[in-house]
Structure 1
């Protein structure tokens, strides 16, 4: 039996190397349980990648917060413990405080990709979080206040926070501090029990995913208008992303951009349906009035920039130039 000469062997590997290469497998974790609207949307993205990348790249969803608790998810990705995460920027602020710009800004993701804003925030995540940003999901959905009891409005038309004990997240902690509200920082998994036991009597969250947690059983009032916007990100550990083949990278990046655009359109429609469903089940919308309404929205925008600048002012001027 003759052995192939090195040159012949190299030529054969060039022809068959791609076909023989092992499929890249990416492990992923989501910040919400499988049945939630967010996790279902992420699962559709994963299915699309796996179909387009058959034999090249595959994403395996390992689970949600039962696998890695939300407060640890950003650092788990940074260290390479997990490859890909579905995680709001608001739960990543200890690593990348600049991520708050995604909720504070009204710039649509498609425009952010055109004017360089997306490239800028991606570069910051790479430097600070060892993360490659892939998509900004659900960006057409905003946050609402949801209350157990009918909220009172002050003379200026803003909600009176005097009797409200609000569940908050790190994302909007600064806003409610500025407004003098009483709040408790809690992960989503603790909210149902807190509402049930009367530890809190209000919540701040988007309509998207709200009823899937069962919180609408307790909060019978939705306060309008919405504030901020969803900042859910699909991202990858940067080292793991760089280790992928160029073909695998392109499949993931292109598919993520497609799902980002689809998410922006679909989420706007879905949010209205979800709000209507909760109203049909007995929930009542309460609208803030001007000038208090405008004051509240201005306070929300200002709080985000205030917090970002206080934590690290390095990129603030560039972020304002592109995102405002």
Structure 2
């Protein structure tokens, strides 16, 4: 009799263990732009792909955007475990992981960074400094532009007179803009419309993707080419949460991440071209820097990123330069 009771108990415990082992992993996530913005839409496509492929195994539940966690707090919120997953540019929490700037300083594709070991090195750095696990560099392949209210003044070397710009900046390109001689005002995206409307700023910087969704194109009638940097948007997870996932959940997330990294890269390039033309059709004019001035502009951008990384933490600079050309 005792044998059968023991057998029944063992069977029950085994069943419970099996249920626990196959319980669906649920991941809470937030994105850095409003839902109507192209970057949020792209992230939601990634979420849908994970949820479709991971049905019954892993599920991402999106809580919202900056109305849930303001952009400057995203890195800290993930590090502390307040949120499991964030979709946000590396440039928004460089004070925590300055090496994240390598994504914008480099022109390497996300899949090449995976192939040469650069992604693994960056992931190790994020794990140590931000308690984060990197899933993918999403929406790569394009850069940032300056947009101005008034027509820029061209200089003899082919550049523009940057000293006339009072430009809204993110932390990512603040030093670059200061090196150019602009007046820099660091603001969250949500404050830019009012600043343009009131004349607090006369220029803005952002990728073409998502620009018009904020309504900024109502004020900025000129786009300056060329673009600078590479978009640096990441999808990452709290490392403790990542480590707690089942191997099957991790496998699904990794597979979808690698697949969507390429898909979003190509889509971002095509969508950027479409949206750029759409703003031109609505009256925006393109001002193209040329010659020596253009080359100096691009060289100043690259140097600013590497200089700032070296100043903040030189530990991995030599390795990163080799892996993120």
Q: Same fold (TM over 0.5)?
A: yes
Tell me the residue number matched to 1:9: 11
Which whole-Å CA distance do the structure 1 matches of 2:163 and 2:267 have between them?
Answer: 37
What is the Cα deviation at residue 191 of structure 1?
0.4
C-alpha change, 1:54 and 1:224, in structure 2 (3 Å) is same
| Structure 2 SS opposite 1:127 | helix
Give the match for residue 229 of structure 1: 230
Question: Partner of 1:281 in structure 2?
Answer: 282
TM-score, length-scaled by structure 2: 0.96
Alignment root-mean-square deviation, CA: 1.7
**3-state DSSP of counterpart to 1:154:** coil
Q: Distance in 1 between matches of 2:99 and 2:14?
A: 49
* Deviation for aligned residue 1:186: 0.2
Partner of 1:82, secondary structure, is coil
C-alpha distance in structure 2 between counterparts of 1:153 and 1:302, whole Å: 23
Aligned 1:279-318 pairs, distance under 5 A: 279-318=280-319
- Cα deviation, 1:175-219, whole Å, max 9, x if unaligned, reads 011112111000101001100111001001100110111100100
Q: Where in structure 2 are the equivalents of 1:145-164 lying within 5 Å?
A: 145-164=146-165
SS at match of 1:162: helix
CA distance in 2, matches of 1:166, 1:77: 30
- Residue matched to 1:90: 91
* Aligned equivalents of 2:87, 2:169: Cα separation in 1: 20
Displacement of 1:161 in angstroms is 1.3
TM-score by length of structure 1 reads 0.96
The equivalent of 2:180 in structure 1 is 179
Deviations 1:278-322 (A, max 9, x none): 000000000001100000000000000000000000000000111
**After the TM superposition, which residues 106-145 of structure 1 pair with which residues of structure 2 at under 5 Å, given as runs?**
106-145=107-146
Which runs of 5 or more residues in structure 2 are unaligned?
none
Is the CA contact (8 Å cut-off) linking 2:147 and 2:220 kept in structure 1?
A: yes
Decide whether the 8 Å contact of 2:90 with 2:233 is kept in 1.
yes
In the alignment of these two chains, the number of paired residues is 323
Residues 133-173 of structure 1 show CA distances to partners (whole Å, capped at 9, x for unaligned) of 00101211100000000011111111201221000010001
